[in-house]
């Protein structure tokens, strides 16, 4: 099955985000990745729920919202109301990870956990029954355009084993330095979803070609629809 591709609008033209979302939707994106940064948990400041709400009419594809904010709990309802379909949080972004994930699930939204390069895989064990997505950061979060950290491939492999042991269809997503070359390594390690910013928006060719290249040169038709 082709990999899910979730282009990160962090690399899009912020003066034309609506058209950018429409364009990547038409080009074969499976999800729209939205990086939310607070200038506190990470050294950058991006967008909030009002922008997510404004973008919602531009695509029916799932909004894959990555909260790089701390504390996350007070803002989760606002992003749900704005139209997020998947909300991923960092385990150290609040005092009670299980409660935070449960609040997302209780609202009918898919829940994810994010592992930074220095976060051990064991952090998923107590909450894996609540997870719809595990997002592996293959760069340190906070900025786009960073280089892929190869050591994260071993983490992806270990997480693949944990997911397979559950028998559940948990998305294993990778974000950071993903391009057609590193994408092959991520997929070989067991990833099922790829986040790419620069490789989609700044690479040579059009969006459809860039998305197809991330899938290994396969058709730019979307992969299986996210349930």
Q: Note if 25 is an active site residue.
A: no
User: Token pair 């895989």 is at which residue?
Assistant: 121
14 close to 220: Cβ distance less than 8 angstroms: no
Sequence-ordered alpha helix ranges (H) in the chain: 17-26, 49-55, 76-82, 97-106, 152-166, 180-189, 198-201, 207-214
Are 3 and 170 a contacting pair, CB within 8 Å? no
- Cβ-count burial 18-28 (b if 16+ within 10 Å, e if not): eebbebbbebb
Distance from C-alpha of 89 to C-alpha of 70, rounded to nearest angstrom: 9
Taking each helix axis from N to C terminus, what angle separates 180-189 and 152-166, rounded to the nearest 10 degrees? Answer: 40
**Selected catalytic residue, list 35, 38, 85, 132:** 35
Exactly one of 30, 38, 64, 175 is catalytic; name it.
175
Q: Length of the chain, please?
A: 227
Do the Cβ atoms of 67 and 75 come closer than 8 Å? yes
> Catalytic annotation on 175?
yes
Would you name the residues annotated as active-site residues?
35, 175
């Amino acid at each position: 099955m082709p990999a899910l591709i979730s282009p990160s609008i962090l690399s899009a033209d912020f003066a034309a985000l609506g058209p950018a979302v429409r364009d990547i939707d038409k080009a074969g994106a499976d999800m729209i990745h939205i990086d939310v940064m607070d200038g506190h948990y990470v050294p950058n400041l991006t967008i909030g729920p009002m922008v997510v709400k404004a973008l919602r009419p531009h695509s029916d594809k799932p909004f894959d919202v990555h909260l790089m904010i701390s504390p996350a709990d007070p803002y989760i309802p606002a992003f749900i109301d704005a139209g997020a379909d998947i909300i991923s949080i960092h385990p150290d972004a609040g005092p009670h990870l299980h409660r935070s994930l449960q609040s997302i699930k209780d609202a009918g939204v898919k829940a994810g956990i994010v592992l930074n390069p220095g976060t051990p895989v064991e952090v998923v064990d107590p909450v894996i029954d609540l997870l719809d997505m595990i997002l592996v950061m293959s760069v340190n979060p906070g900025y786009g355009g960073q280089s892929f950290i190869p050591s994260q491939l071993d983490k992806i492999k270990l997480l693949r084993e944990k997911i397979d042991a559950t028998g559940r269809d948990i998305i294993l997503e990778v974000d950071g330095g993903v391009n057609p070359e590193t994408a092959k390594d991520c997929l070989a390690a067991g990833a099922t979803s790829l986040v790419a910013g620069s490789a989609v928006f700044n690479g040579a060719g059009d969006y459809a070609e860039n998305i197809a290249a991330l899938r290994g040169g396969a058709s730019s038709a979307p992969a299986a629809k996210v349930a």
